[in-house]
Amino acid sequence: MFGNLDTEQTLLVLKIAFLVLLYLFIWAVVRSVTRDLRSAPQESIVLSAKEANELRARYEPVVPTPAARLLVLESPTLSPGSTVEIREPTRLGRGGENAIRLDGDDFASTRHAMLEPRFDGLWVEDVGSTNGTFVNGARVTTARLLVAGDIIRIGKTDLQVEA
Amino acid sequence: MSARNKELLNLGFAALVASAAFASVSIVGTGLVTTRWLGYVGVVFGLYLVAHIVARFTVPYADPTLLPLVGLLTALGLTVIYRLGPEDARRQAVWVALGIGVLAATLFWLRYDYRALERYKYIFGISAVVLLLLPSVPGLGHRVNGVKLWIKVGPMQFQPGELAKIFMIIFLAGYLRDKREALAQGRLKDLGPLLLIWGASMLVLVQTSDLGSALLNFGIFLAMVYAATGRLIYVVAGLGLFLAGSAALYNALDRVQQRVTVWLHPWTDERVYCSISGELDFRQNCDSYQLVKSLYSIANGGYGGTGLGKGTFTTVDGTQLIPYLNTDFIYSAIAQEVGLVGSAAVLLLVMVFVARGMRIALIAQDGFSKLLATGLTFGLALQTFIIVGGVLRVVPLTGITMPFVSYGGSSILSNFIMLALLLLVSNRAAATAVNR
C-alpha cells in the first residue's frame, strides 16, 4: 500500500519518529505514576526515607496512636473474659518470641498475626500463618483496619475489639 | 485511572514505539515499504496482552510501569536480534512466550501470599549453592567460550546460575530479615555469614572462572546487607575483601588476567603473543578483537545512529564482524543503529524500571518484602551495569546477558520470574495502601 513511497525518506522519518516516540514513552510512563497520587504529593518517582518522613510529617500530623483493648472471648491459653492492651505493634503466635504467646493453641502458627495501633485505629495483618487469621469470619489477606466489635480469630483464640 | 488501565495504556504506547522499530528493520530488509511488520508487533504485544490480563486477575494493584517497560525492552531486543539473524529472533520470541508463561504461572501460584517463600529460605539458600556448582560436575558441565556456566542434559542446555541468583535473593531476604538487628550491631562474631558467603563466591569464581557472575552475586549480597542494616562499613569491607580476593586470584586465573589486559590495553602498537593463534599479532586482531570491533560499532552510530536495520555488522563477504553480538554485545549493536540518543534512552528505560523497583521496596510493609524488592531490583541494575559497562570499557568485560534485551533462554526465563516477584510485592504494598 505504500509501494510508491521513497524508501530512504520513509526510513529517515521512521528513525526520527522512533527516537521521539521512545522519549515520549519514557515521559508518559513516569508521568502515569507521578501525577495522580492522592495521599501525598511527590516530586520524584522515588523519595528517600528522609524526604518521605518530612512529607509525612507535614501532611499527616502526628496524632498520638491510641492504645486498643481486646476482650478475650475464647482461648486455650489466655483466660476468657480478660482484656489485652495493644500499645505498639504486637505479634501473636505460638512461638516464644511473640509479644502475645499462644503456646497452648495447636491451631495457631509459630508466627501468626500482627496487631498494630495506628493513628486511625487498630490494624491486623496475617504474617504467613498456616490456618489463617479471620475477622468476623472473613480471612485476612492484606492489612486491615478493625472497628469496635470486630472479632479476630487466630487458631482457636477469639478476640473482640473494644471501643 | 486504575493501575491496570494505566498499564494497558502504557503497553499500547510501547507497541507504538516498537512499531516504528519493526517497520524500519522490515523496510531495510525487504527494500520495500510494506506493512508486514504489523504482524510481528501483533505477536509480541499479543503476548504482553496475555500477561496484562493475568495481572488483572492476580495482581490488580501492582505497579503499572514494569510490564510496559519490560515489553519495550524485549521488543527492542527482538528487533536487533531479528536484524542479525531472523532464525534467532524466532527462537527468542518463543523464549519470551515461555517467559510470559512462567510469569503467569508464578503470579497465579503466589497470588495469595508470596511471603510463604520466606518459610523455605534455607532450602532456597542451599539450592542456590548447588545450582551454582552444578556446571562444575564432570559430565554435566559444559564449557562455552572458556567459561563453565552451562549444564547440558541431552539436547537441552541451560545456565543454572540464572536461577541460582533468584534463589539467593529469596534466601537473603528471609535470612537478613531475621538477623538484621544482630548484624546492625556489628559485633565481630556476626561477620561469620558475611565471610562465608565471600568464601563461597570466591570458590564459584575459581570453579567457573567467570568474574561477571561472581561480581553480580556478591554485589547483590552487599546491597541487601546494606539495605537490611544501613551500615556502610559492610559495603566497604565487602568490596575490600572482594578486591583483595580477586587480586590474590588474579595470578592464578589466566582468564581473569586476559580480561583485565584487554580492558586496560585493547590496542597494541607492536605484535604481542596471541594465545588464540599461538603466534605474534596485534592485540586488536587477537584477544581484544571483539571489544575493539564493538567500540568501532558504537562509534559508527554517532549521535543519531544509522537507523534501525541499517547498521554494519558484517563484512562485504557476509561474515559477522563481532562474535556474540546478540548476547553479550547487544548494546553495541543497539548503540550503532539508534546512536547515542537512542542508546541513552534504552538505559533510561532500565533506570525507570530500577527507580520503580526501589519505590516498591520503600512502600512495602514488611522487611522480607522490602529486602526481596531491593535484591531483585538491584540485581537487574547491577547486571545491566556490568554488561553495558563492559561493552563501553568502564569495567572489564565479562560475558553476562543484558536483562530482557539479550538473546538467551535461561536469562529471559529467570528475568520474567524476577518481574513476577516484583509485581507480587508491589501488588501487596499498593493493596494495603488502597484498603486504608
Interface of B with A in 407-436 (CB under 8 A): 428, 431-433, 435-436
Sign of the CA dihedral running B358, B364, B370, B373:
negative
Average pLDDT, chain B: 86
The answer, yes or no, to whether residue B175 has pLDDT greater than 70, is: yes
Are the beta carbons of B348 and A19 separated by less than 8 Å?
no
Sign of the Cα torsion B24, B29, B33, B34 reads negative
Closest partner CB to A29 (pick from B24, B65, B358): B65
Q: Which residues contact A60 (CB under 8 A, 6 or more apart)?
A: A40, A119
Task: List chain A residues with CB under 8 Å of B23.
Answer: 14
Question: Of the ranges A157-161, B28-32, B69-73, B197-201, which one carries the lowest mean pLDDT score?
Answer: B197-201
Q: Which of A5, A9, A11, A18 to mutate to test the interface with B (most CBs of B within 10 A)?
A: A18
| Position B422 confidence tier, pLDDT thresholds 50, 70, 90 | very high
Could you please report the per-residue DSSP string of B262-273? HHH----SS-EE
Residues 6+ apart with CB under 8 A from B324: B145, B290, B399
Give the C-alpha distances (Å, rounded to integers) separating B169 from A53, B55, B217, B324, B369: 28, 23, 9, 28, 11
What is the signed CA dihedral for A71, A73, A79, A83, rounded to 10 degrees?
0
* Interface mutation target, options A4, A29, A141, chain B, most CBs of B under 10 Å: A29
Rounded Cα distance, B418 and B163, in Å: 10
Mutate to test the interface with A, among B59, B80, B348, B424 (most CBs of A within 10 A): B348
The predicted pLDDT at position B7 comes to 94
CA atoms within 13 A on the CB side of A131: 14
Contacts of A47 in chain B (CB under 8 A): 359, 362
Instruction: Work out the pLDDT band at A40, boundaries 50, 70, 90.
Output: very low
Asked if residue A25 has pLDDT above 90, the reply is yes
Looking at residue B156, what is its pLDDT? Answer: 60
Percent of chain A, pLDDT > 90? 16
Q: What is the pLDDT of residue A42?
A: 45
Helix extents (H) in B251-325: 254-264, 289-301
Of A13-17, B24-28, B104-108, B184-188, the one with minimum mean pLDDT is: B184-188
Given pLDDT bands bounded at 50, 70 and 90, which one contains residue A39?
Answer: very low
pLDDT category of residue A65 using cuts at 50, 70 and 90: low
When CB atoms are compared, the residue of A24, A47, A143 closest to B365 is A143
Mean pLDDT of B88-98: 92
Higher pLDDT, B254 or B157: B254
- Is B33 in Cβ contact with A10 (below 8 Å)? yes
One-letter amino acid at A25 equals F
pLDDT at A1: 45
Residue type, B289: Y
Residue B347 pLDDT > 90, yes or no?
A: yes
Torsion sign (Cα): A36, A38, A39, A42: positive
Question: ipTM of this model?
Answer: 0.89
| H or E element that contains B332 | helix B330-363
